[in-house]
Amino acid sequence: MRGPHNIIRLIRTGATFERTGAMNVVLEALEAPPLVKGVFRAIVWPFQWLGYKGDVNTPPVPRALTALGPAYIKFGQILSTRPDVVGNDMAIQLRVLQDKLPPFSMQEAKDEIEREIGQTVEQLFSSFSEPVAAASLAQVHKAHLADTGEAVAVKVLRPGIEKAFRKDIDAFYFAARAIEFLSPSSRRLRPMEVITHFEGVVSGELDLRLESSAASEFADNTAEDAGFAVPRVRWHLSARRVMTLDWAEGVNAGDNDAIDAAGHNREELSTRVLQMFLNHALRDGYFHGDMHQGNLKIGANGDIIAYDFGIMGRIDEYTRRVYAEILYGFIRRDYKRVAEVHFEAGYVPANRDVDEFARALRAVGEPIFGMDATRISMARLLSYLFEVTERFGMETRTELIHLQRTMVVVEGVARSMNPKMNIWEDARPIVEAYIKDSIGPKAIMQDLVKTAVVLSRYGSRLPAMAEAAIIRQSKPAQDDDQKIKLGPAVWMVSGAAIMGLAVWIVSSI
């Protein structure tokens, strides 16, 4: 599929980029040499008439992607989460992509539901509305269950969207190979890796069972979070191409007038949305990866209701601890500790000077903390921080890039509700609590217990392992080094046996 026949598809793509003015922007972002720019322009210029005009009120790149259709819109949305690849300016432009497309017909939606669930829409629902939202991959209908009358949201994938995406992805791979061949300097941006990442994300979103699973896990994690809600998944009405959730009734989180009219406290809401995100990222290691106003509502009781779980973020426990220590160090303005954390985590090469790195971090932090509280930005600090770490040889950490991008979005949501909020003061209690629970003495004991539990799983085998190690150690060694190598094994097995026994005793009390 990734052969020369994709050239026709790419010519139309290039013609659209040329007609909308996006071609120059993209080639500049890729740092293409003048010769390559000239070749691309010479190829596509005669075919401008084949390109789509797009919305002239939209910036060039989003304009071109929107005109080209669903796969390109989704590609742009995913690239907006990778400022390390496309640069901050273009990432900001791509975030304005409006994921709104003409809906497909009601009959097609009903046919999809019947094929997936095995019953007709009339059997399942007492009412089934026209589409209330139509996006690049799917559209949503409001319905009422036939048996209980409860309101639900029914998400249905676009017919034939999988096939359309496969064709466009093949063309993307072909384009990535051509760019790498014609512009070796672009290889630092890893075009092939970007397309592979895109393919993986979209493949997940094209199976709504995975999004249902994400919604279910997120709901379980946040069940005890006061003032935060996630709609329940209706598993018996969900399948690969259909997902059904409880209907989220409320006002849009970006509509301040409606929030005020409903009597909600926007200052309290701004603090809560920031603290909830930090809790999810640090406490759970699983957070909503696209937490903008369009995916949040404010319920009648004041709850922040999240929905649309196609993009989620996950970071492991070790990375969460590192991230928390970095934030905590900046909050205390302890730049030496922030520098040490980067070295301890292996983020910065060991041959760099930690004191010099700490001085560079101070240059990042002090100007920000010298600002008025309303201008202090955690997102801006993280952006500056990545610039500094890049200068010191830090390799790109995709999970931290995603976290930083989401932090930018969440901060924007919070500030839209309360422009005077102090991001750092609101973040402090969450970060301090996490530090206390996950890095202090309590955390050390928890780590030891976890280790002991793992070792205790081998409890029945430990005596035989210890006996075998002792027998091997007692035999004449072929050389003096053998005992040195076997000695630690005896101590390790013996220690494991003791720890396993201790866990067994404790669990039996």
CA distance 362 to 371: 14
Give residue 119's identity as a one-letter amino acid code: Q
Helix axis angle, 423-438 relative to 378-391, nearest 10°? 60
Q: Check: CB of residue 403 under 8 Å from CB of residue 313.
A: yes
Q: How many helices (H) and strands (E) does the chain have?
A: 23, 10
Q: Is 320 helix (H, G, I), strand (E, B) or coil?
A: helix
Q: Token match 């909308």: residue?
A: 20
Quickly count: other Cβ atoms within 10 Å of residue 85's Cβ: 20
> For residue 127, what is the enclosing H or E element?
strand 125-134
Q: Check: CB of residue 130 under 8 Å from CB of residue 106.
A: yes
480 is catalytic: no
Q: Is 298 helix (H, G, I), strand (E, B) or coil?
A: strand
CA distance 6 to 352: 46
Question: If phi over 0 gives left and psi between -120 and 50 gives alpha, with beta otherwise, what is residue 138?
Answer: beta
First to last CA, the chain: 64
Pairing mode of beta strands 304-306, 228-229: parallel
With CA atoms as reference, report the closest residue to 202 among 133, 134, 137.
Answer: 137
CA distance 195 to 179: 12
Q: Which of 84, 290, 303, 308 is catalytic?
A: 290
Residue 101: Cβ-neighbour burial (10 angstroms; 0-12, 13-18, 19+): middle
> For residue 141, what is the enclosing H or E element?
strand 138-145
Pairing mode of beta strands 312-314, 242-246: unpaired
Sheet containing strand 138-145, edge to edge, reads: 125-134, 138-145, 151-157, 242-246
Give residue 379's identity as a one-letter amino acid code: A
Quickly count: other Cβ atoms within 10 Å of residue 110's Cβ: 17
Torsion sign, CA atoms 6, 9, 14, 15: positive
Both structure tokens of 85: 């690849």
Helix axis angle, 22-29 relative to 60-68, nearest 10°? 110
Q: Check: CB of residue 187 under 8 Å from CB of residue 280.
A: no
Residues with catalytic roles:
290
